[in-house]
Structure 1
Amino acid sequence: MKKYYTFLFLLTSFMYSFSQTENKSYNYRVSLNELKMTSYEKDSTANALVLFEHGNSYIDNNDYTLKTEEKRKIKILNREGFNKANVTIYLYNNDNRKEKVKNIVATTYNLVNGKVTTTKLKEVDIFEEKYNDNYTLVKFALPNIKEGSVINYSYTIQSPFKFKYKGWAFQSDIPKLYSEYNTSIPANWEYNVKLVGGKKLFKNEQDIKKNCLSGSRGASADCTISTYAMKDVPAFIEEDYMTSKSNYLARIEYELKIFKDFEGNINNYTKTWKTTDREFRTDKDIGKQLSKSINLEDFLSETSINETDLYKKAEAIYKYVQENYTWNGDYKIFKDVSVKDLIKNKSGNVSSINILLHNLLKEADIDVKPVLISTRDHGFPTKIYPVISDFNYLIVQVTMDNKTYLLDATDPYLSFGEIPFRCLNSYARLMDFKNGSQWVDLEPNKLSKIQIKAELNIDENENITGTISSKKTGYHALNSRKKYYQNSDSYVTNLEDKYPNIDISNHKVISEGKTNPDFIETYAIAYNSDETGDNIYLNPFFTTFFKENPFKLQERTYPIDFGYKDTYYYILKLNFGDNYTASELPKNSRFTLPNNKGSVLFTNVLNENAVSMMFKISFKDAVYPAEYYPYLKAFMSNIVDIQTKSLILLKKK
């Protein structure tokens, strides 16, 4: 049989093929040098290190199951690395078929008084437990673990699910010296192969093995034999401002495209979006729910039904669903979706709530379409071909007067046109059943901003008092609305706790309503300064936007994803009257990110008996590529320094 095999490697510019082999040997055998090893020179913070790992997947010629042999050798460098001796194997099961694991062999090696000792895993110490409806866990812990131990273990997974060809993770939360994955794929199965994570392949080799799989009546198929390897793979360390780590871990994945049996019958598993749209529309669960008609009189007031302004009508429908139905926390799209149960119980999952919203808007003759989303913690959906399981969330898009609005009625604090932060995952699939589905960007249409204005006065007794006005928009406003309207007393208490040198009184929220797009508040403060003799040292930042630099890694290989663009303003006027003179002010400064992708402006002006100060931070992109990390790290460091090290020196006359 002729070989058909599709390679759809993403990020091909990062690939690197190596035909030669190095002098260094990578193998499963434990050496004396490995036992004597006390640290890893390329990562002094590593608690453990994968010395060698190898995977081999193939279709068994006897029973046609997919078998994956795995073996791994790990150095335990210190006590914090002991958890790497706890192994969990995930086994998939579906429709009375299930994966099995066999031939588990595990050994711990220690160096005791110059001699090598071994302790083997006992079969009674291997445990199995149910994880959920689709996965069973097999767990074991290697015995006699000490600082300096080397462990190795191996097992074979036997799977009846050829459509789920085993992927391979070259990267994890500890560094790896060498990771290799071998595959043997008969020509009957054609997979899309995807390389994720942007790391260079040390080895990328393919060959053809003739007649590797036998069928009935003398039929046979050739196999593509592939070897993929990476070496010196750094640990993946999570940091603030990122989406799911699954977007960035170096790994290889498989998606079954076509299966051709020995009789010549072909099953096409990877569908086009046109086919997927049709299946989605006619689906007995979600498709049926979206197509149901609904009686507006059963839900809305006569005033809302007769409203002629489309925006006001859409907003009224949105608020009705938002205020009358409670999200139960489930993200389900294709299972347990029932608008009928939602109406009955007043509570339901994401899809049920937003499908009800969709159907009410559609019945009101408003242009509305469902949108499939993969949330930030779920990973990016594949764009090359449809993978419906990549999506785990549903919202709706409304179009009025040539403007589009994304709506999600699961959160009672969202304003019209806002979606939860969890949904800001770059792009989504708009399901347009008339014109065909398409990708749409998930960009907030409202600016997120914090603006704080402070006017302070210092009297002859060094008492500093004043008023603060704060206005927040976008996601900054959403966060404050939630905290305030859930518990206003706790909100004020937390505000005081956040700024221990300040006494707060007469707190008021000027903006009305928990869905108001703005959050505006005012309060009075009494501020403590540092007095030394006739001098007063005053830190002009009674509040800070960033108390510390969130970026601490030496190197970051994945994007910095804030989710949205935002701006911070801090404006201060300090009146010190006739009793003082300002003898020292912070230095003015200005700096920017490359290509003007962000800026900081800090100015101080002395005008008679007052100091006016302005501090502005602007992030002009929601997502920055990894190349910006050193610049963002320095950018944030400068911001923190300005807020924590700026002083105004006042002297008594």
Structure 2
Amino acid sequence: MKTFFLAYLLTISFCFQAQSGFNSNDYTVTLNDLETNIYEKDSTANALVIYEYGKSYIDDRNFKLVSDIKRKLKIINSKGFNKATVSVYLYNDGKSKEKLRNVIATTYNLKGNTVVHTKLRDDEIYEEKYNENYTIAKFTLPNVKEGSVLTYSYTTETPYVFNYKEWEFQDDIPKIFSEYNTSIPANYEYHIKLVGFLKLKVNESVIENYCLTVNGGGHADCTISKYVMEDIPAYKEESYMTTKDNYLSKIEYELNTIKKFDGRIDKISKTWKDVDKELRSDSRFGRQLNVNVSNESFSSEPNLLKRAENIYSYVQEEYTWNETFNIFGDTSVRDLMKNKSGNVTEINMLLHNILEANGIDVLPVLLSTRENGFATQLFPVISEFNYLIVQATIYNKTYLLDATDDYVSFGELPFRCLNQYGRLLDLKKGSSWIDITPNNLSTIQYKVDLSLEENDILVGKINTTATGYHALPLKKEYYENNTAYVNKYKEKYHSISFIDHKVTSKDKASYEFLEEFDIEYATEDISGNLYINPFLFKLMEENPLKLQERTYPIDFGFKDAYLYTLKIDLKDKYEVLETPKEMNISLPNNKGLLIFSTKIVEGSILLYFKFNFKETIYNPDYYESLKLFMGTIVDIQKNSLIVLKRK
């Protein structure tokens, strides 16, 4: 550990920054960096990246990709201590490997008027095996305390120039300044993609002549690029999202072409025409789509839609998904037919083949699930797909099918598949992108019909109807254990006496889930007045949107609507003293609507509460409106009262 007093020149630097907050201009640690212990733009931050800088280039001595990294962080409180541990993933293929070198790391602490800096020792850097292809180089900066400022820099060197270093501007802590510089020789052509919803402050490129030379006189010009983001909010996960990889702001690279100095051209990236041709002849894919299943005949049903539904039900019931995707691994439809269990690809290829053998027009569809991230649309990256479904066209109408889930109805997909788009594989005419968006509205409806009896007890029925993606979790809970399902209601709504419960929908694969509850509910008597919360069942228990700011879309996956109606027969024995205030609000651009009203009609109280979301995905600009909208929904259900008095 070394201790030094603030010298004159250092004091000048510190004083210069004192009026401007953290020093995000460069790597230098200033007095303000040490003394400031809150980030005004995010008071919840536990740590903060003040400044980070990256530079990647091709070394003209060995033609390896070199990346120099520098970061300066502020540890605001103890919950940010984990940011003192740095992990660098290094790839190897058994022949060559990536290397980490030139690690320099220092912790700065302020003790009175003294800056104490503690340097990382070389023996505090270690490696651990992650898997067969990756090693993690790790180090933890020493003497970290609340208020510490950390700086570290290192260099990575890799022979894998096809995998140009991506740069993540956004992390789970805020950043004030992030800069990435690249030097790419003209003989390497990359697809460059900016991911996320934050905008670059600087995005500029220039040409540097003769930046790369080789023996024999060959040379290349380079594109020198600079990318900067400032005031980058922390990425915080919340409800209604897919994987964070879809939203974290970053720059990614995919090598397209290498132009060698002898004039040869190696095309690395493929076109979809190339991919279609390869898939058609692939033994694990194209050939599996032609496996003979002629013994599975359903042709006695003349109606093609009913025939397709029968085939779909057959595959659902007879074959079990083994919970693996394995889209391009070992795939065998024949093994599935023998073992009655298989992965996603095998089950849906079997579905495809039986439908096709029975006169149904079908095509396979590749997609990437919500947890896997978006597949690139600019060019084929086949490894980004992890799932296969089937498109059937019947009487000029298309249906997307997945037979892996017993509870999913015909024409519906498991929720994991709702990731906006997929690649329709017509291996003869050519593949194309299609939307993966549910056509039907998913709904929840509660119809409550009660009468107020002499003992001030409400007696009656609650009929519930759930459809689509709102029905799926209810069906799974009920059919897996119907006793536990009913007990869950009793525990959740302990003020309600459940007399009877029955399910009236057809079966577990029905699009609707229909229930009927016989209930009794005691009113609350205060000073001779009866107080009733009209919402016996809640449509939304709490507001799921809680962030101060959200930089990524609100992705419901499907459009939905909610309806709660209540009728209380007062039997002409009660006077209504108070009913909830009526309300009618909408989201901007009419993207959602809420209606709440209460009326007295012929001796009965009639309450109507409806709200809907007209989009599957809302961009971040709608976040505050959605948060207020949902907060209003929760508030109406929690705080509405009907007050009655006996006549």
Q: TM-score range by the shorter chain?
A: over 0.9
Deviations 1:483-533 (A, max 9, x none): 111111111111222222212221101112111111001011121322102
Does 2:283 align with 1:289?
no
Residue 420 of structure 1: how far off its partner (Å): 0.8
Instruction: Specify the alignment match of 2:435 in structure 1.
Output: 441
Residue 472 of structure 1: how far off its partner (Å): 1.0
Residue 305 of structure 1: how far off its partner (Å): 4.6
Instruction: Specify the alignment match of 2:304 in structure 1.
Output: 310
Does 2:478 align with 1:484?
yes
Aligned pair in 2 of structure 1 residues 234, 104: CA closer, same or farther (>3 Å)? same
Aligned pair in 2 of structure 1 residues 137, 342: CA closer, same or farther (>3 Å)? farther
Aligned pair in 2 of structure 1 residues 563, 57: CA closer, same or farther (>3 Å)? same
| SS class of match (1:162) | coil
Task: Choose which of 391, 398, 407 in structure 1 pairs with 2:392.
Answer: 398
Aligned pair in 2 of structure 1 residues 335, 545: CA closer, same or farther (>3 Å)? same
In structure 2, distance between residues paired with 1:495 and 1:146 = 48
Does 2:251 align with 1:252?
yes
In structure 1, distance between residues paired with 2:388 and 2:123 = 45
Does 2:557 align with 1:559?
no
Residue 542 of structure 1: how far off its partner (Å): 0.6
Does 2:599 align with 1:605?
yes
Residue 24 of structure 1: how far off its partner (Å): 6.7
Does 2:385 align with 1:385?
no
| SS class of match (1:296) | coil
Residue 169 of structure 1: how far off its partner (Å): 0.8
Task: Choose which of 324, 327, 333 in structure 2 pairs with 1:339.
Answer: 333
In structure 2, distance between residues paired with 1:596 and 1:496 = 38
Aligned pair in 2 of structure 1 residues 86, 632: CA closer, same or farther (>3 Å)? same
Contact kept, 8 Å, 2:412 with 2:438, in 1: the verdict is yes
Instruction: Specify the alignment match of 2:18 in structure 1.
Output: none
Deviates more, 1:376-385 or 1:145-154: 376-385
In structure 2, distance between residues paired with 1:344 and 1:110 = 67
Does 2:448 align with 1:450?
no
Instruction: Specify the alignment match of 2:4 in structure 1.
Output: none
Deviations 1:367-425 (A, max 9, x none): 11111111112222222222222212111111111111111111111111111111111
Instruction: Specify the alignment match of 2:91 in structure 1.
Output: 92
Instruction: Specify the alignment match of 1:522 in structure 2.
Output: 516
Q: Show the 5 A alignment for 1:205-216.
A: 205-216=204-215
Normalised TM-score (structure 1)? 0.92
Aligned pair in 2 of structure 1 residues 346, 103: CA closer, same or farther (>3 Å)? farther
For 2:351, the aligned partner's letter is: L
Instruction: Specify the alignment match of 2:11 in structure 1.
Output: none
| SS class of match (2:455) | coil
Instruction: Specify the alignment match of 1:37 in structure 2.
Output: 36
Instruction: Specify the alignment match of 2:80 in structure 1.
Output: 81
Residue 285 of structure 1: how far off its partner (Å): 2.1
Instruction: Specify the alignment match of 1:158 in structure 2.
Output: 157
Residue 129 of structure 1: how far off its partner (Å): 3.1
In structure 1, distance between residues paired with 2:314 and 2:129 = 41
Instruction: Specify the alignment match of 1:7 in structure 2.
Output: none
Contact kept, 8 Å, 2:443 with 2:468, in 1: the verdict is yes
Deviates more, 1:411-420 or 1:317-326: 317-326
Aligned pair in 2 of structure 1 residues 529, 93: CA closer, same or farther (>3 Å)? farther
Instruction: Specify the alignment match of 1:277 in structure 2.
Output: 276
Contact kept, 8 Å, 2:23 with 2:33, in 1: the verdict is no
| SS class of match (2:172) | coil
In structure 2, distance between residues paired with 1:547 and 1:272 = 49
Deviations 1:298-326 (A, max 9, x none): xx3x6x35333222222222222222222
Q: Show the 5 A alignment for 1:192-271.
A: 192-271=191-270
In structure 2, distance between residues paired with 1:337 and 1:43 = 49
For 2:291, the aligned partner's letter is: S
In structure 2, distance between residues paired with 1:206 and 1:243 = 33
Deviations 1:550-587 (A, max 9, x none): 22223322221111111111111111223311121112
Does 2:465 align with 1:471?
yes
In structure 1, distance between residues paired with 2:68 and 2:318 = 53
Deviations 1:239-261 (A, max 9, x none): 21122222222211111121100
In structure 2, distance between residues paired with 1:344 and 1:124 = 56
Residue 95 of structure 1: how far off its partner (Å): 6.1
Contact kept, 8 Å, 2:23 with 2:50, in 1: the verdict is no
Contact kept, 8 Å, 1:296 with 1:305, in 2: the verdict is no
For 2:293, the aligned partner's letter is: N
In structure 2, distance between residues paired with 1:35 and 1:594 = 44
In structure 2, distance between residues paired with 1:284 and 1:434 = 17
Residue 107 of structure 1: how far off its partner (Å): 2.1
Q: Percent identity?
A: 54
Residue 174 of structure 1: how far off its partner (Å): 0.8
Q: Which segments of 5 or more consecutive residues in structure 1 lack a partner in the other structure? A: 1-22
Instruction: Specify the alignment match of 2:59 in structure 1.
Output: 60
Instruction: Specify the alignment match of 1:3 in structure 2.
Output: none
Instruction: Specify the alignment match of 1:373 in structure 2.
Output: 367
Deviations 1:13-43 (A, max 9, x none): xxxxxxxxxx976222322321222111221
Instruction: Specify the alignment match of 1:548 in structure 2.
Output: 542
Normalised TM-score (structure 2)? 0.93
In structure 1, distance between residues paired with 2:340 and 2:134 = 31
Instruction: Specify the alignment match of 1:593 in structure 2.
Output: 587
For 1:485, the aligned partner's letter is: Y
Deviations 1:306-357 (A, max 9, x none): 3332222222222222222222222222123232433343332221221222
Instruction: Specify the alignment match of 1:628 in structure 2.
Output: 622
In structure 1, distance between residues paired with 2:142 and 2:172 = 22
Deviates more, 1:255-264 or 1:456-465: 456-465
Deviations 1:213-248 (A, max 9, x none): 222312111111111111221112222112222222
Q: Which segments of 5 or more consecutive residues in structure 2 lack a partner in the other structure? A: 1-21
Deviates more, 1:204-213 or 1:217-226: 204-213
Contact kept, 8 Å, 1:331 with 1:392, in 2: the verdict is yes
Residue 60 of structure 1: how far off its partner (Å): 1.2
For 2:349, the aligned partner's letter is: I
Residue 77 of structure 1: how far off its partner (Å): 0.2
For 2:251, the aligned partner's letter is: I
- Superposed CA RMSD in Å reads 2.0
For 2:376, the aligned partner's letter is: T
| SS class of match (2:162) | helix
Contact kept, 8 Å, 2:24 with 2:50, in 1: the verdict is no
Deviations 1:603-648 (A, max 9, x none): 2111232101111112111111222222212211221221111111
Residue 211 of structure 1: how far off its partner (Å): 1.9
Does 2:316 align with 1:322?
yes
For 1:118, the aligned partner's letter is: H
For 2:102, the aligned partner's letter is: N
In structure 2, distance between residues paired with 1:150 and 1:25 = 13
Deviates more, 1:319-328 or 1:185-194: 319-328
Contact kept, 8 Å, 1:581 with 1:609, in 2: the verdict is no
Contact kept, 8 Å, 1:371 with 1:431, in 2: the verdict is yes
| SS class of match (2:136) | strand
